[in-house]
Structure formats: structure tokens, C-alpha cells
Amino acid sequence: MQNSKQPTEDNHFQARALEVTLRIGFVLLLIAWCFWIILPFIAMIIWGLIIAVAVYPMHSKLLSAIGNRQKMAAAISTLLLLALFLVPAAALTESLIAGAQGLYDQLSSGEIRIPPPPEGLGSWPIIGKPIEETWRQASTNLDTVLEQFAPQLTKLAGTLLSALAGTGLSLLQFLLATIIAGAVLANAEAAQVTARGFAVRMAGDSGKEFTRVTKETVRSVARGILGVALIQALLAGLGFLVVGLPAAGLLAMICLLLAIIQLGVALVTIPAAIYIFYTADTVTAVVFLIWCIVVTLVDNVLKPVLLGRGAPVPMIVIFLGVIGGFLTQGIIGLFLGAVILSLGFNLYQTWIDQASESEA
């Protein structure tokens, strides 16, 4: 009797194990399939969530001002974001592509002409003389200089062409991310409840603290660092466009990178102002110089306003996030990398601090 019961229990166990395996396999297959479908949109979704978290305090003020109309406030916030950032960015992108195409056409036809170096350039300390010699040689015999620097120019051209190829896609990603942010803002209360619930399910009692750190880090980095850098780059780029500075779009992108890694846009605006003084009339040069000074110093005004009381992040983390994000995901990675790496660092630091407190 006992022998006949044992096979029955074994069969029942095997059937249950097979059923559980099939259920787990089906769930894993469904999760993998869903992930595969949304994989092209993950960067845009994450960036949209970051934008929504960063602008929510301003959005909430707008919401109160118009009588708590969620959809209308979300639509206004989305339109403002598009007008403030994407429209100037599109103009600078057009300038970047047109300038690169024009430079390529001139190099191909041999029509490009380099003006002689300005007087007094050779008297600059350390770098003045070699720059003047190379500049003078380029103005008299450009072909020789191009042959001399052919490997460097070829490598630079490949890098620039790769960046240009992804510029249009990056603008589309920013557009879709802004629309996603608007959808999140339209359902802000439900999104906050979902986020807190997910954090508690994943981290237990520590979930609320992790949620707070996430919110503060995202707002600190996205507004106080990335937002200020983007505003500086757009203002600088608009100034470059107005005075007709060559490669205005490319210079604005360099300003963006320098501002994010906290080196400052002065590394671009000072040489640009010097160039305009040598090539434009005095009034234009003076006005442009004043504009460059304002753009260079505007972060001292914006950072205290936008940075808030966010969780502090070491600058090396920002730097690694910016460079790593750019190398892996292109232009949008400049922003995503800084935020995600900063968030990971602060969450890890919070987790370590909680473990230390519990042991003490």
C-alpha cells in the first residue's frame, strides 16, 4: 500500500514542478518580449521621466495658477519646454549641418580661402608663434597644411560625421521624450503613487528614502547642472548665429559639453569674441563681447535658483557619466549618463549609510 502511494506523490510533485516551470518560463518570455519591443524607446522613456521629475515643482505652480486643470497644465508645460529648448536646438542643428556641408564642398572644390593671421598674434606667450606660423602657411598654401595634418583631419572628419548623423535622431528623441514628460505630468499624482509603491516593494522600508534621494538627485543634476549647461549653450549658440560665426552649431555643442563637465563656456566664448573683433565692425564686436560675458557668467545666477537643495554629487561622477553616456548613446547620452550615474552613486551611498546606521 505504501509503495503504490509513493509513485502517486512523485507524479504529483513532477506535475506541479512542470506547471511552475512553465509558468515561470512564460512570465520570463513575456518580460523579455516586452523589453525587446520597448528597447528602442528606453532612452526616451527614461529621459522623459527625468524631465517630468525635474520640472514638476514649476509645473505644480502652474497647475495651481490655472485652477488644478491637469491636462491643460501638462500641455502648457510641454509647449513651453518645446519652445524654450527644441526650437533653438533645431536652429543650431541646421547651422551645424549647413556649416559642415559648406566646409566639405569648399574643401572638395579647392575654393576655401584662409585670411592671413591678425597682427600681434605671434606675440602671445607660448602658443602665439606656432599658431601664427601654421595660420600664415594655411593662408598662403592650404594644400600643404592639409597634407601635413591629413591623419588628424581624417579622424576628426569621421568623428564629426558620426555626430552629425545622430543629430537629427537626437532631436527626435528629445521631442518624443518631452511628449512623454507631458504625459507623465498629466498623471503626476498616479505616477508618484506608483513610483513609491514600486520602491517599497523593491526595497521594503528603505523604499521611501530611496524615492526621496532619487527625486532630489534627478532635480539637482537635471536642473542645476544639465539645465544650466543647456541654457548657456543655447544662448551662446544664438549669439554665434547672429554674428555669423562659422560653425556656430558645432561651437554651441562644445559649449554644452564644457558647461556640463563644469569647465565653463569661456573656453569657447573668449576665442569667439577675439575672432569677431578681428573680422567684424567695432559695434558688433563690442555687443557680442557683452553677450559673451553675460552667457559666461549666467550660471552664477541660474545655479542657485535651479540647483535647489538636491543631493550632492561629486564632479568626477558627473564627468564620467557625461563622457560614458556620450560614447555609448550619442548626444542624448550627455544628459542620461550624468543623471543615471549620479543617481546610482547616491542610491549606493544611501544604502551604505543605512547599513552603517543599522550596525551602529
Helix (H) or strand (E) holding 204: none
Q: For residue 291, what pLDDT band results from cuts at 50, 70 and 90?
A: very high
Highest mean pLDDT among 56-60, 104-108, 285-289, 320-324: 285-289
Answer yes or no: is 262 within a domain: yes
Among residues 219, 252, 251, 248, which one has the least CA distance to residue 234?
A: 252
Going from the C-alpha of 36 to that of each of 39, 42, 330, the distances in angstroms are 5, 10, 21
More confident residue, 83 or 265: 265
pLDDT in tens, 247-260: 777 788 788 888 88
Answer yes or no: is 26 within a domain: no
- Identify the pLDDT of residue 360: 57
Answer yes or no: is 277 within a domain: yes
Residue 340 clears pLDDT 60, i.e. is over it? yes
Count of CB atoms situated within 10 Å of the CB of 331: 21
Answer yes or no: is 68 within a domain: yes
Answer yes or no: is 307 within a domain: yes
Q: For residue 116, what pLDDT band results from cuts at 50, 70 and 90?
A: low
Please count the structural domains in the chain: 1
- Identify the pLDDT of residue 1: 47
Answer yes or no: is 12 within a domain: no
Q: Which domain holds residue 320?
A: 42-351
Answer yes or no: is 23 within a domain: no
How large a percentage of the chain has pLDDT more than 90? 1
pLDDT in tens, 190-224: 777 777 777 777 767 677 777 777 777 877 777 77
Answer yes or no: is 115 within a domain: yes
Q: What is the CA radius of gyration of the chain?
A: 27
Rounded Cα distance between 172 and 151, Å, is 33
More confident residue, 28 or 111: 28
Q: Of 161-170, 242-251, 264-273, 333-342, which gets the smallest average pLDDT?
A: 161-170
Rounded Cα distance between 200 and 240, Å, is 49
